[in-house]
Structure 1
């Protein structure tokens, strides 16, 4: 058995997460292709409405694996993080893709460029969304920790809390603070 096959056999939740991420983008692409290529707005709406079900599948698979006695590992925590970020950022990713599909395939306008104050506000809004996604992930982690099993079984899930803090800190520095300090604030004041 090759290394990838061995990893998936030992970590079935990783396969579900990978399939979920692929499914997320396949449904978005299919939904937008139906909207702009086939002009089938209802079909497009149904396909795009199915996107959140992927989150449910990933979460249920991870919970079922843990409830079945599996010892929590990195991928179980990743499932919670995937859920948080997909729930919070999923709708804006669909809108982002929709604007680009409309431009490319339906003669729609180019996406507007954010500059100055608008860009700064956007970066702060995205950071707040990051905090919300981390909060949802933390809630899912705590639910798994307290509902699923013994402390030994779920111990690796506790390791995700510092990671969520690190993601938030990095996002803060590379997003809104970078914009604040890189001159956007000065451009806004002029």
Structure 2
């Protein structure tokens, strides 16, 4: 499962860079659109591979749980990552404005950190839902229990991220 996750991460970035290069370097709008629309297909491929593996009797392990984490993170943060890359490509290859730098201090920084934590929470909810779908489709709680171990670690990370992100609201950077 881990090689599939790595391949999907590589596929995400290859399709994204190819789509943006087609748009800004080659000026091939249609090709760019096709490549950029294929980016979410990477998540579908990962989801399908994980489900097929589990439904065919594959041993459920934390790697399957990691696939759920990847899907949740990709759905929650994917548009933001694409926008980040698009700004840089537009600036570098099409004379677009320089990328917007995020605020580093004050209330604007605190608000940005809260928004990012909310995205993290969304990723967590989506990942947990994917784990729930895996569990329901496999139908054997004992067999899928190991993939839920990922959620325990992720919960701790989410809580730490909450404390850090919201601390800027109480104690803003100067």
Please report the TM-score for the alignment, with normalisation by the length of structure 1. Answer: 0.84
Matched, 1:124 2:114: yes
Counterpart CA distance in 2 for 1:88 and 1:74 is: 21
Pick aligned residue for 2:127 from 129, 134, 137: 137
After TM superposition, the structure 1 = structure 2 runs for residues 1-190 of structure 1, keeping only pairs within 5 Å, are 13-115=1-103, 116-177=106-167, 179-184=168-173
CA apart distance, 1:164: 2.2
Counterpart CA distance in 2 for 1:182 and 1:96 is: 27
Q: Deviations over 1:56-81 (max 9, x none)?
A: 10001001001110111111001111
| Number of aligned positions between the proteins | 172
Which runs of at least 4 in structure 1 moved beyond 6 Å after TM superposition? Answer: none
Counterpart CA distance in 2 for 1:124 and 1:173 is: 10
Please report the TM-score for the alignment, with normalisation by the length of structure 2. Answer: 0.91
Counterpart CA distance in 1 for 2:148 and 2:2 is: 18
Is the contact made by 2:107 and 2:169 (CA closer than 8 Å) also made in structure 1?
Answer: no
Is the contact made by 1:67 and 1:149 (CA closer than 8 Å) also made in structure 2?
Answer: no
Is the contact made by 1:145 and 1:157 (CA closer than 8 Å) also made in structure 2?
Answer: no
Matched residue SS, 1:159: helix
- The RMSD of aligned alpha carbons is 1.5
